[in-house]
């Protein structure tokens, strides 16, 4: 009975930390680029008619915000366990959380990044309203590729994330160990070596790349753990603060699911890491 009461208190406090989400259109006056999609095609990539940012403002914000990019191989979006399901958990820490519904490349590799960069701009435009001092980006799988692309291909202070959180990310476009579905959907089946190198984010790290928290399972059969390891090594080489957490089992795509047996470990470590970087 006592345990049930305590669980109810935790649930209530988590719910109280969350506010009603706000949905913001990324491009109310039209996007600056196109993937030439006008409707959902059967067996085709997800058609996102209106890219949006769903923001969950923290009730008592601690100055941090996170933009989440769900995965899906650059062909669809895993919006729940890699997106909306984490809102209450982040809000309970005082972190304003936003889920990005971004457009698929469908032949234009610049489209997803432009949506992610616009999401960062929008969050910063609302900094005073939501008490934001740091805006980070988070991504899972192919969404991790998008997040790490935002972290390595920014063009100015507005589009540079303050930190990055990556769940089992696709990092490289090197055919020897990339996720070929993400590779083909972003770049096409026969891209140039130059294009592959451009989007191999382990090659794009500089000392200005933001701090990173990276998670991966060693037995991931979809996205090899070398993606995370090589990115981590590139960050270390460039003296960028980085934290890499590998788990012996778990496969791919666990996100916020309770079925992942190391959930208590990663949530505890990430919570601690976020506190540390917020105090710097």
Q: pLDDT 10s digit of each residue in the chain, 280 long?
A: 554 554 555 444 444 445 689 999 999 999 999 999 999 999 999 999 999 999 999 999 999 999 999 999 999 999 999 999 999 999 999 999 999 999 999 999 999 999 999 999 999 999 999 999 999 999 999 999 999 999 999 999 999 999 999 999 999 999 999 999 999 999 999 999 999 999 999 999 999 999 999 999 999 999 999 999 999 999 999 999 999 999 999 999 999 999 999 999 999 999 999 999 988 6
| Contact present, 95 and 86 (Cβ < 8 Å) | no
Q: Report pTM.
A: 0.93
Give the other-Cβ count within 10 Å of 54's Cβ.
18
**pLDDT value of position 279:** 81
C-alpha–C-alpha distance, residues 255 and 139, integer Å: 10
**pLDDT value of position 18:** 52
Q: 142-152 and 111-125 helices cross at what angle (nearest 10)?
A: 70
Give the other-Cβ count within 10 Å of 171's Cβ.
33
**pLDDT value of position 8:** 52
**pLDDT value of position 80:** 98
**pLDDT value of position 14:** 47
**pLDDT value of position 47:** 98
Give the other-Cβ count within 10 Å of 122's Cβ.
18
**pLDDT value of position 19:** 66
């Amino acid at each position: 009975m006592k345990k049930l009461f305590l669980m109810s208190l935790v649930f209530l406090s988590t719910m109280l930390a969350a506010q009603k989400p706000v949905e913001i259109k990324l491009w109310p006056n039209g996007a600056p680029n196109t993937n030439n999609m006008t409707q959902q095609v059967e067996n085709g990539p997800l058609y996102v008619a209106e890219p949006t940012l769903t923001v969950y403002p923290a009730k008592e914000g601690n100055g941090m915000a996170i933009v989440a990019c769900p995965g899906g191989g650059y062909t669809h979006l895993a919006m729940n366990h890699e997106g909306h399901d984490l809102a209450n958990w982040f809000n309970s820490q005082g972190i304003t959380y936003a889920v990005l519904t971004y457009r698929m490349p469908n032949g234009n590799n610049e489209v997803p990044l432009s949506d992610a960069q616009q999401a960062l701009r929008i969050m910063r435009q609302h900094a005073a309203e939501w008490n934001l001092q740091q805006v980070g980006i988070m991504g899972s799988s192919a969404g991790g590729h998008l997040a790490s692309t935002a972290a390595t291909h920014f063009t100015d202070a507005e589009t540079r994330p303050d930190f990055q959180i990556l769940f089992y990310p696709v990092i490289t476009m090197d055919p020897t160990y990339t996720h070929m579905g993400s590779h083909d959907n972003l770049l096409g089946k026969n891209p140039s070596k130059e294009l592959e190198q451009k989007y191999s984010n382990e090659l794009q790290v500089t000392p200005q790349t933001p701090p990173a928290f990276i998670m991966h399972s060693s037995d991931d059969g979809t996205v090899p753990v070398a993606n995370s390891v090589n990115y981590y090594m590139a960050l270390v080489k460039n003296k960028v603060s980085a934290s890499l957490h590998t788990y012996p089992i778990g496969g791919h795509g666990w996100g916020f699911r309770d079925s992942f047996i190391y959930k208590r470990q990663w949530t505890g470590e990430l919570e601690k890491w976020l506190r540390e970087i917020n105090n710097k």
